[in-house]
Amino acid sequence: MTEVFTGSFTQQEPIPEDGIAAALAVMQHGRLHRYNEAPGEVAETVLLEEEFAASVGAKYCLAVASGGYAMTTALRASGVGYGDHVLTNAFTLAPVPGAIAAVGAVPVFIGVTEELVIDLDDLGAKLDQAKVLLLSHMRGHICDMDRLMALCDAAGVTVIEDCAHTMGAAWDGVPSGRWGRFGCYSTQTYKHINSGEGGFLIGDDPDDMARAIMLSGSYMLFDKHRAAPPPEVFAQIKYETPNISGRMDNLRAAVLRPQLKRLPEQAARWNARYRALEDGLRETPGLHLVARPAKEQFFASSFQFLLLDWSADAIADVLGHCKARGVELKWFGDAEPVGFTSRYDSWRYAPSAPMPVSDRILAGVVDMRLPLTFSLEDCALIARIIKQEVGAAWQRQVAAE
């Protein structure tokens, strides 16, 4: 009998009961705006910022409307403007080059390795083309951050980290987001904590964070922030920085605070599911698993594998057969952007030249969401289905040669 998976790849776990209770309390008192506080009250957003800063060891934290807004704000606060070039990953999602385009800057794309991280050799060759690197830890894969920072520091290149997929992760014990000038995080539905939309911006420099707070739309209410620089840092910055509103509200903060407390526990659950898939797919002919270095303390909310040097038709065959059995896989080799999946040559607002080495890798990247609503048994079943369909497609290719 052919096995079929009947679960949903987009169904997240419910918001914890204490998060629902906190959200109800905010709705009952009606003070959703982060600067609308009763006498003696500390807003949910303020508390969340303090708690998130403490969780990663940052001096300052700003809660914002989305991870994309966090990146755009980090770029603006770092002085990036119209016509500037910004280095970034060729393998990422559209909000990353979108943030660069939003400030009028131009992406310079850096290649990807078979480990699905930024190609540090290619980065080294292009460091003289920009003063800022917007580094995407795409799909939770973290490169050798010691080497990356050594390269960027020697070249005088500022690093901004896109940690949308690495909240709670680390490289050699240092949390993702704590290597560069800014760390940017997302709390969109498919991320590690879920408020539908939302994000964080962290950093240690007082002037940087003062600019970010003003940009976020604090008006002259910056003294209501606590995970922030003291009011005197804003003395001149408040006159020079435009309001580009992108604040988080107290309702989303209330939903997020209980989830943040559970993050280590959730990491263990997610990684157990990742390992179940990985174990089930080992020794599949034609399928390349992505190596995870010992120094990478990863936090998996998705799963990737490579079908390197397969034809487009053969990969489409695998995806079609898996979908017919209930397993939804995404592919980064498609010439057209589909859903969340696109690639550097899809973003026609950003100039790019062909990158043959990276194109070969992107043509083989298969991607899958890994919600916590999957059980370990579900993951084992999904792995069996993928293994069977990849194996059958591999045999068809070999027979045709």
User: At residue 401, does pLDDT exceed 80?
Assistant: no
Q: What is the pLDDT of residues 115-170, one digit of tens each?
A: 999 999 999 999 999 999 999 999 999 999 999 999 999 999 999 999 999 999 99
Give the tens place of pLDDT for each residue, 174-205. 999 999 999 999 999 999 999 999 999 999 99
Residue 58's contacts (CB-CB under 8 Å, 6 or more residues apart) are 177, 178, 183, 202, 203, 204
Mean pLDDT of the chain, nearest integer:
96
In the predicted model, is pLDDT for residue 99 greater than 80? yes
Exposure string for 17-41, b = 16+ CB within 10 A, e = fewer: eebeebbeebeeeebbebbebeeee
Structure tokens that stand for 400 in this block = 């045709």
135: phi then psi, degrees, rounded to nearest 5: -90, 120
Residue 197 CA to its chain's centroid (Å): 13
* Predicted confidence (pLDDT) at residue 321 exceeds the cutoff of 90: yes
pLDDT in tens, 254-293: 999 999 999 999 999 999 999 999 999 999 999 999 999 9
Q: What are phi and psi of 344, to 5 degrees?
A: -55, -35
DSSP string, 209-234: HHHHHHHTT-TT-GGG-SSS--GGGH
Do the strands 330-331 and 365-369 form a parallel or antiparallel pair, or are they unpaired? antiparallel
CA-closest candidate to residue 163, choices 144, 187, 132: 187
- The CATH class of the 17-261 domain is alpha beta
Is 263-400 the same fold as 17-261? no
Nearest to 176 by CA among 190, 189, 160, 191: 160
State mean pLDDT over 4-8: 97
Confidence of residue 340 (pLDDT cuts 50, 70, 90): confident
Domain segments of the chain as ranges: 17-261, 263-400
Report the CATH superfamily, name and number, of domain 263-400. Aspartate Aminotransferase, domain 1 (3.90.1150.10)
Q: What is the pLDDT of residues 347-396, one digit of tens each?
A: 999 999 999 999 999 999 999 999 999 999 999 999 999 999 999 999 88
pLDDT tens for 46-85 read 999 999 999 999 999 999 999 999 999 999 999 999 999 9
Q: What is the pLDDT of residue 339?
A: 84
Integer distance in angstroms from the first to the last C-alpha of the chain? 30
Task: Report the b/e string of 336-346 with b at 16+ CB within 10 A.
Answer: eeeeebbbbbb
The pLDDT value given to residue 96? 97
Q: Rounded distance, CA 31 to CA 278, Å?
A: 46
What phi and psi, each to the nearest 5 degrees, are found at residue 6?
-115, 5
Please determine, for residue 1, whether its predicted confidence score (pLDDT) is greater than 80: no
